[in-house]
Amino acid sequence: MLSAGEFKNGITLEYENAIWQIIEFQHVKPGKGAAFVRTKLKNIVSGGVIEKSFRPTEKFEEARIDRKDMQYLYSDGDLFYFMDLDTYEQIPLNQDQIGDKLKFVKENEMVKICSHKGNVFAVEPPLFVELAITNTEPGFKGNTATGATKPAIVETGAQVAVPLFVNEGDVIKIDTRTGEYLSRV
């Protein structure tokens, strides 16, 4: 059990039948009245954010989040298959559980599967991936205004904004959290 007075950023807890992660917290001691803890909580399943205040003595059950490295095998219609490399057990996940997290992930790459009490709620792709560009318009000479970009399609089918000097067939590095181009490889 965890009291509100022990809150720290990043802690996950169970509250109102959901799993929440503490984004921000602040201990407040007003001139009049009792002290309280003001928090900003993010629902780790839906992504929604709420602000709540708690008494410092309120108790919460700390949620244990399991993160397991698994290999993304393939997609078959609405299902995506992942394999545990230790046990060779395969698990299928549907589009609702995945969201758009796999738009930069190729088959046979490693991802982290996040679960709580055996229920998978998220897939975390690697922070950076290297993908080849399959389709983009050629850049024109002289068209180099500061920070000019053009759309490009990478081998997973996702669209990325790249600088004008990047051509079809180039391999680029992408930040999967933001979907931004980082560099050519």
For the stretch 14-46, pLDDT in tens is 888 888 989 999 999 988 888 999 999 998 877
Residue with tokens 């904004």: 161
Residues 88 and 42 in one domain: no
For the stretch 58-117, pLDDT in tens is 999 988 888 899 999 988 888 889 998 889 889 898 887 787 888 888 888 999 988 888
Residue with tokens 């629902």: 43
Residues 114 and 134 in one domain: no
- The string of DSSP letters for 104-120 reads T--TT-EEEEEEETTEE
Half-sphere exposure of 166 (CA within 13 A, CB side): 27
Residues 98 and 134 in one domain: no
0.75 cut: is pTM over it? no
Residues 6 and 58 in one domain: yes
- The residue out of 62, 87, 105 marking a domain boundary is 62
Domain count, the chain: 3
Give Dmax (Cα) for the chain: 68
Of 35, 111, 28, 8, nearest to 67 by C-alpha is 111
**Tokens (6 digits) for 89:** 């057990």
CATH value at residue 27: 2.30.30.30
Domain range for residue 46?
Answer: 2-62
Residues 153 and 173 in one domain: yes
